[in-house]
Amino acid sequence: MTRIVIIGGGPGGYEAALVAAQLGAEVTVVDSDGLGGSAVLTDCVPSKTLIATAEVMTSFDSSYEELGIIVADDTPPDKQAARVVGVDLGKVNRRVKRLAVAQSHDITQSVTRAGVTVLRGKGRLEGRQDLDGSRAVVVETADGENLTLRADAVLISTGATPRELPDAQPDGERILTWTQVYDLDELPSELIVVGSGVTGAEFAGAYQALGSRVTLVSSRDRVLPGEDPDAAVVLEDVFRRRGMNVMSRSRAESAKRVGDKVEVTLSDGRVITGSHCLMAVGSIPNTADMGLEEAGVKLTESGHVKVDRVSRTSAPGVYAAGDCTGVLMLASVAAMQGRIAMYHSLGDAVQPLNLKTVSSNVFTDPEIATVGYTAGDVECGKMDAVCVKLPLRGNPRAKMQGIRDGFVKLFARPGTGIVVGGVVVAPRASELIHPISLAVDNNLTVEQVASAFTVYPSLSGSTAEGARQLHIRKREGAESGS
Ligand SMILES: Cc1cc2nc3c(=O)[nH]c(=O)nc-3n(C[C@H](O)[C@H](O)[C@H](O)COP(=O)(O)OP(=O)(O)OC[C@H]3O[C@@H](n4cnc5c(N)ncnc54)[C@H](O)[C@@H]3O)c2cc1C
């Protein structure tokens, strides 16, 4: 029986464990914090649970008047808060933590039911391969014992940890990382979010919806510098319209507590004050002190494990998956890299990782979902594609629901009409991107997308309409010979 040891039990690790067990290997997962990893315990699941509350707040708050809903309130006008709905953050956070722990428990159950051994502790590689090709993994267990496991293949899937700035050390009370916000019992009255990438934007939007006054400090020209520029513009407009103070081209140098306030100093000397500060300035891979380089595993300058498209590292028999590789920091990609590693090491059929078919979503309001080639790829000539963008305000369902912001964008090859990418900016865009994902993954043409029925009225009608418009453009191009 092939012995597999997996260090780190997040999506990269536990999904790999399930596949390896199904393929008949003897599998051990070593994890220091609980199966599901940061994805389940501190990052993905908790943030999306918090955002679920924020989403209900925003959709009610922003549309109840237009939709004719009356809120019965006997409070005299001078005593009424500006907002109609409020939130009990302590209750929200207790729900968040309960769901996270329950999901970790469910994952542990399904992994152990599949025959995998789960060890609580910290794992590291010990030296190089033995003559028989096996390796040693040393585990410092939760009760301080040291165990040595022998493995024919090892998967490193240890994830990443929030990056901290030397002069903005989190204290867990007022200066916070995204893993610490769920200990708050009361809503921050004035939250400063440092960092306008996906994590910063998601939390800024969520806390704004929950009722905090939010300042978003962005070192770049606009929020979400890595996303579709049109989508980022829509989101920034919405943020500002709802009262968020978005500070562009502003780099935070330090954050310190002053009594029950936090002062954030920017690189140009300006100081901003809030009740709390959330640092969302990226993450660093959990690859230190794991014996990786001694075992022949090459790391990048940033400390990520170098891997190829079948998750092999530079050391024979050592694979790596997920955030510790820095390939694409998504739970879905971590899981796929982990599965691919197991298919490869256990000799099953394997498809190398293809990042161009990954769909991803920014869970703001509106959400931003993306798949395939991007506007940037078209602009720099990496992909020759024509593009159509349909604002949602022309969509009948959007009008009925009072949705004003957002669009559907499709990219297709000019000659064949094959769909190569798409962006949806809408409420629940994460659900609406799937047909475009299917098209990209299966090389469907705009004609095939256009000919599938959509429900009337529906937001997905805009995807079909976009495909129809690209078909017309293709015909006109063919007729004019261009
Ligand atoms: C706020 C936030 C929200 C996010 N939301 C989403 C989302 O909505 N969708 C999405 O796809 N992605 C999301 N992500 C990204 C996603 O969480 C990560 O891509 C995913 O967690 C990566 O999985 P992983 O298996 O690589 O590592 P992790 O989930 O980080 O798991 C690694 C595990 O390894 C353990 N470990 C570390 N070192 C050792 C060691 N030496 N020995 C034993 N165990 C060890 C850790 O304790 C942890 O349990 C989000 C990220 C953040 C920060």
Say if ligand 1 is within 6 A of residue 177 CB: no
Cβ contacts of 407 within 8 Å, gap of 6 or more? 230, 231, 234, 389, 390, 391, 392, 423, 424, 425, 426, 462
Q: Would you say the CB of residue 334 lies under 6 angstroms from ligand 1?
A: yes
Q: Is the pTM higher than 0.75?
A: yes
Q: How many A from CA of 9 to the centre of ligand 1?
A: 9
Residue 114: what pLDDT? Answer: 98
Q: Is 123 in the pocket of ligand 1 (CB under 6 A)?
A: yes
Q: Which atom of ligand 1 is nearest to the CA of 48?
A: 8
Q: What pLDDT is stored for residue 27 in this prediction?
A: 98
Q: Are 291 and 313 in contact (CB under 8 A)?
A: no
* DSSP conformational letter for 426: E
- Of 31, 139, 371, 437, the one to substitute when testing ligand 1's pocket (max ligand atoms within 8 A of C-beta) is 31
Q: Is 326 in the pocket of ligand 1 (CB under 6 A)?
A: no
CB distance 218 to ligand 1 below 6 Å: no
Whole-number Å distance, alpha carbon 477 to ligand 1 midpoint, is 46
Q: Are 376 and 409 in contact (CB under 8 A)?
A: no
- Is the previous residue joined to 77 through a cis bond, with omega within 30 degrees of 0? no
Q: Is the CB of 190 under 6 A from ligand 1?
A: no
Question: Which residues lie closer than 8 Å to 241 by C-beta, 6 or more apart?
Answer: none
Q: Is the CB of 367 under 6 A from ligand 1?
A: no
- For residue 33, give the ligand 1 atom closest to its CA: 47
User: Which atom of ligand 1 lies closest to the CA of 42?
Assistant: 1
Ligand 1 centroid – CA 270 distance (Å): 35
The pLDDT of residue 76 is 62
Best probe residue, ligand 1, of 19, 38, 163 (max atoms within 8 Å of C-beta):
38
Q: Detail the DSSP E strand segments found in 101-243.
A: 117-126, 135-141, 146-151, 153-156, 160-162, 175-176, 190-194, 213-217
Secondary structure class of 480 (helix, strand, coil)? helix
Distance (angstroms) between ligand 1 centre and the Cα of 320 equals 13
| Ligand 1 and 305: CB distance under 6 A | no
What's the gap in Å between 163 CA and the centre of ligand 1? 14
Using the structure block, give the residue that is written with the tokens 């075992």: 295
Q: Which atom of ligand 1 is nearest to the CA of 283?
A: 53
What are the pLDDT tens digits along the chain (482 aa)? 999 999 999 999 999 999 999 999 999 999 999 999 999 999 999 999 999 999 999 888 888 888 998 877 666 666 555 556 789 999 999 999 999 999 999 999 999 999 999 999 999 999 988 999 999 999 999 889 999 999 999 999 999 999 999 999 999 999 999 999 999 999 999 999 999 999 999 999 999 999 999 999 999 999 999 999 999 999 999 999 999 999 999 999 999 999 999 999 999 999 999 999 999 999 999 999 999 999 999 999 999 999 999 999 999 999 999 999 999 999 999 999 999 999 999 999 999 999 999 999 999 999 999 999 999 999 999 999 999 999 999 999 999 999 999 999 999 999 999 999 999 999 999 999 999 999 999 999 999 999 999 999 999 999 999 999 999 998 887 777 76
Does residue 39's CB lie within 6 angstroms of at least one atom of ligand 1? Answer: yes
Which protein residue's CA is at the shortest distance from atom 53 of ligand 1?
Answer: 43
pLDDT of residue 85: 75
Which atom of ligand 1 lies at the shortest distance from residue 335's CA?
25
- Length of the chain counted residue by residue: 482
What is the 104 CA–ligand 1 centroid distance (Å)? 12
Task: Report the distance separating Cα 83 and Cα 63, nearest Å.
Answer: 13
Angle at 430 between CA 429 and CA 433, to 5 degrees: 75
Helix 198-210 vs helix 229-241: angle between axes, to the nearest 10 degrees? 30
pLDDT at 366: 97
224 contacts 203 by C-beta, under 8 angstroms:
no
Say how many Å lie between the CA of residue 107 and the centre of ligand 1.
14
The H or E element spanning position 288 is none
**8-state DSSP, 17:** H
**DSSP assignment of 383-413:** S--EEEEEEGGGSHHHHHHT--S-EEEEEE-
345, with CB counted inside 10 A (0-12, 13-18, 19+), is: buried
